Amino acid sequence: MKFIVSSSSLLKQLQNISGVLNSSNSLPILDHFLFEISENEVKVTASDLETTMMTIIKVDSKEEGTIAIPAKLLLDTLKSLPDQPLTFSIDLKTFAIEISSDYGKYKLSGQNAAEFPKTPQVEAPSKIEVAGELLFNAIEKTIFASGNDDLRPVMSGVFFQLSKDDLTFVATDAHKLVKYVRTDAKASKAASFIMPKKPLNLLKNILSSMDDNIQIEYNQTNASFSFENTQLICRLIDGKYPNYEAVIPKENPNKLTIDRSAFLGSIKRVGIFSSKTTHQVRLKMTGSELQISAEDVDFSNEAVERLTCQFEGEDMEIGFNSRFLIEMLSNLSTDEVNIAMSASNRAGILTPTTSENDDEQVLMLVMPVMLNS
């Protein structure tokens, strides 16, 4: 069995789906790409049992057949070849593969495609179509706030909450929380599910360079994302997402408005001098001045900076983890940000002062680090 394909288009498509592959697999067959060859196209699948990605590539072929090809060996070969047509000759009895290029021939041994796990189907799904840009922004703005705690798997993903009015995406690790709402997309009926981090990162990487619409299908156990010639199917995280609305303080009379990039730069510099365990920076607000300070008592390191700001409310001091503030400020793109607070032991709420998009609302919450007076 033979097919001819452009080396660069094959490499590009395989790189898109190769992120699914784990460095160590319990099943050796999962170190392979499944190639399903039919007339003039090849469907290639990569899987780690939890997440499966498929892509369809145009080829020159008149025959049909399936084979599993070692993924790393194939990718390394393609990366080292300039763009040219490659001829794949496959012996379906011995699973021997020969690749012919302008330079010569390369032989490798494949595996029986029958050993490759069956692609999961999303049965009786609900469906929604969203713009690629919307999904990319939703993932980028939230995923950094999701947790890594194996004991609380529901917090290790992003919560998708679909309604007839809007789409809401939430991530939290109990120290920080991000809620991202889009009012320019709606679902026909209310639904919610928790997406794991790995497939979201795979989607984010691909969506950053395309603007197609994404077809999302989902049920209680799986979700599928289809666009262009690619499909991703993943198992959802089982469990009930915590009531995130309950932790967002409603009354926050103290309001700080400040230049985002100046504030971010200051936190980065002062944070270097903070304690290596708490990473605490102290914010002291009085009138139009914000004092940012940090100290590491163990090593007698300390730093202090002053910035001008707008502050409404009672003079106050509050401590935050500098790493969390840096992540949040880096994931906002507006010139100025607001931080609303009520007391030094209550969460602070970060929001952009203006929005680039009227259909978008971003709210970021960060828990305080207790001040040692």
Task: Kindly report, residue by residue over 257-282, the tens digit of the pLDDT.
Answer: 999 999 999 999 999 999 999 999 99
373, part of any domain: no
105/130 same-domain check: no
Answer for the pair 308, 266: CB distance below 8 angstroms, yes or no. Answer: no
120, part of any domain: no
132/238 same-domain check: yes
186, part of any domain: yes
Q: Which two tokens stand for residue 127?
A: 């469906």
**Domain final residue pick, 93, 115, 137:** 115
121, part of any domain: no
How many angstroms from the chain centroid is the CA of residue 74? Answer: 26
Spatial CA neighbour of 209 closest among 143, 136, 128, 138: 136
- Residue 263 has what pLDDT? 98
**Domain final residue pick, 115, 148, 173:** 115
165/236 same-domain check: yes
236/301 same-domain check: no
- Residue 211 has what pLDDT? 82
Which residues does 93 contact at the CB level (< 8 Å), separation at least 6? none
173/81 same-domain check: no
Q: Mapping DSSP to helix (H, G, I), strand (E, B) and coil, where does residue 183 land?
A: coil
Record the pTM: 0.93
234/337 same-domain check: no
The number of folded domains in the chain is: 3
Angle CA 109–112–118, to nearest 5: 135
What is the residue whose two structure tokens read 């595996």? Answer: 111
Asked if residue 48 has pLDDT above 70, the reply is yes
Measured distance CA(283)–CA(258) in Å, rounded: 12
371, part of any domain: no
149/207 same-domain check: yes
143/219 same-domain check: yes
**Domain final residue pick, 227, 242, 257:** 242
Measured distance CA(64)–CA(39) in Å, rounded: 7
131/45 same-domain check: no
179/97 same-domain check: no
Q: Across all residues in the chain, what is the average pLDDT?
A: 95
Asked if residue 76 has pLDDT above 80, the reply is yes
Measured distance CA(257)–CA(335) in Å, rounded: 11
254/361 same-domain check: yes
pLDDT grade, residue 358 (50/70/90)?
Answer: confident
CATH number at residue 111: 3.10.150.10
Higher per-residue pLDDT: 26 or 167:
167
pLDDT grade, residue 373 (50/70/90)?
Answer: low
307, part of any domain: yes
CA 28, 30, 33, 35 torsion-angle sign: positive
Task: Kindly report, residue by residue over 194-232, the tens digit of the pLDDT.
Answer: 999 999 999 999 998 888 899 999 999 999 999 989 999
Q: Count Cβ atoms within 10 A of the Cβ of residue 71 and give its class: 0-12 exposed, 13-18 middle, 19 or more buried.
A: buried
51, part of any domain: yes
pLDDT grade, residue 356 (50/70/90)?
Answer: confident
Domain limits for position 151: 126-242
277, part of any domain: yes
What is the residue whose two structure tokens read 């990473």? Answer: 279
130/109 same-domain check: no
